[in-house]
């Protein structure tokens, strides 16, 4: 698994990196990769978005926050520095080809990472990762030829007031939190990213272990049209 920490990026800049790796992965020219980044303040819309889920557009305009319409699943969300973004570019062609299973895996690995950080996170009945009834992580993914892109965002030290100005994920009246709010202190982002990366690698191996055992590493390099 290749790891690529892009640091602080604009959304489009990171998207370009994702798309480049996605196409190379499909062509068999790259290994699986986990992109880690933080975004400059941006509101992103998934495919199932209505602009009516932005409750206070002026709030974002006054702060020069970009609006980006994306090809990921899900609805509207907000990104800003201090939030960890995980964008896995992984090939599931020869693994368990199941969209829900993959999203379950993403939520599990985020929940496990947060637990390591001392945040009692869990998966709820609704999508995402939750802490005491408040949402802390947001999923929205895409697939091309069973290679994944887009991913999950996790609130760590970031400003969460902006979530009051949208219906996060299109859901009304949900409360949002961050690791900083839960723990009452800022976390070291380098340490946080390392924990997410290590947990992702470990959980990916375990969750997709049976398929790896059956097909082996060779299958991940199959070139497909």
Which stretches of the chain bind another protein, using CB under 8 A? 46-48, 71-74, 98-103, 127, 139-145, 224-225
The nearest distance, CB 165 to another protein, in angstroms, is: 22
User: What are the backbone angles phi and psi of residue 30, rounded to the nearest 5°?
Assistant: -135, 155
Q: Which is nearer to another protein, 59 or 143 (CB)?
A: 143
CB of 99 to another protein, least distance (A): 5
Q: What is the distance in angstroms between the CA of the first residue and the CA of the last residue of the chain?
A: 22
* Residue 189 near residue 180 (C-beta atoms within 8 A): no
Strands 2-9, 33-39: pairing is: parallel
- Is residue 49 within a helix (H) or strand (E), and if so which, with residue range? none
Q: Any bridge partners for residue 42, and if so which?
A: 66, 79
Nearer to another protein, 155 or 157 (CB): 155
User: Which secondary structure element, helix H or strand E, spans residue 146, and what is its range?
Assistant: none
Tell me the closest approach of the beta carbon of residue 150 to another protein, in angstroms: 8
Lookup: tokens for 54: 């932005």
Question: Based on CB atoms, which residue is closest to another protein, 53 or 157?
Answer: 53
Widest CA span in the chain? 54
33 is catalytic: no
Q: How far apart are CA 99 and CA 158, in angstroms?
A: 29
Residue closer to another protein by CB (options 150, 193) is: 150
Nearer to another protein among residue 13 and residue 104 (C-beta)? 104
| Cα–Cα distance for residue pair 73/143, rounded to 1 Å | 10
Catalytic pick from 110, 131, 166, 169?
Answer: 169
**What's the CA gap between 151 and 52, in Å, rounded?**
23
Q: How far is the CB of 8 from another protein (least distance, A)?
A: 25
Query: To the nearest whole angstrom, how small is the minimum distance from the Cβ of residue 208 to another protein?
Result: 15
Catalytic positions are: 169
């Amino acid at each position: 698994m290749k790891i690529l920490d892009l640091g602080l990026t604009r959304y489009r800049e990171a998207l370009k990196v994702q798309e480049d790796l996605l196409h190379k992965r499909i062509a068999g020219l790259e290994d699986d990769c986990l992109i880690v980044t933080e975004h400059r303040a941006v509101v992103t819309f998934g495919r199932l978005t209505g602009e009516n889920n932005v409750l206070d557009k002026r709030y974002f305009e006054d702060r020069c926050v970009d609006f980006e319409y994306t090809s990921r699943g899900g609805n509207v969300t907000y990104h800003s520095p201090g939030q960890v973004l995980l964008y896995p570019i992984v090939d599931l062609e020869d693994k368990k080809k199941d969209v829900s299973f993959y999203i379950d895996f993403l939520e599990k690995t985020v929940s496990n990472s947060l637990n390591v950080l001392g945040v009692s996170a869990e998966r709820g009945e609704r999508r995402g990762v939750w802490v005491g009834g408040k949402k802390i992580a947001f999923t929205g993914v895409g697939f091309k030829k069973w290679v994944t892109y887009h991913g999950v965002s996790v609130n760590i030290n970031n400003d969460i007031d902006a979530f009051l100005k949208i219906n996060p994920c299109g859901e009304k009246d949900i409360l949002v939190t961050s690791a900083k709010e839960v723990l009452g202190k800022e976390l070291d982002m380098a340490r946080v990213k390392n924990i997410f990366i290590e947990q992702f690698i470990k959980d990916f191996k375990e969750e997709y272990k049976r398929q790896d055992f059956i097909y082996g590493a060779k299958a991940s390099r199959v070139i497909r049209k």
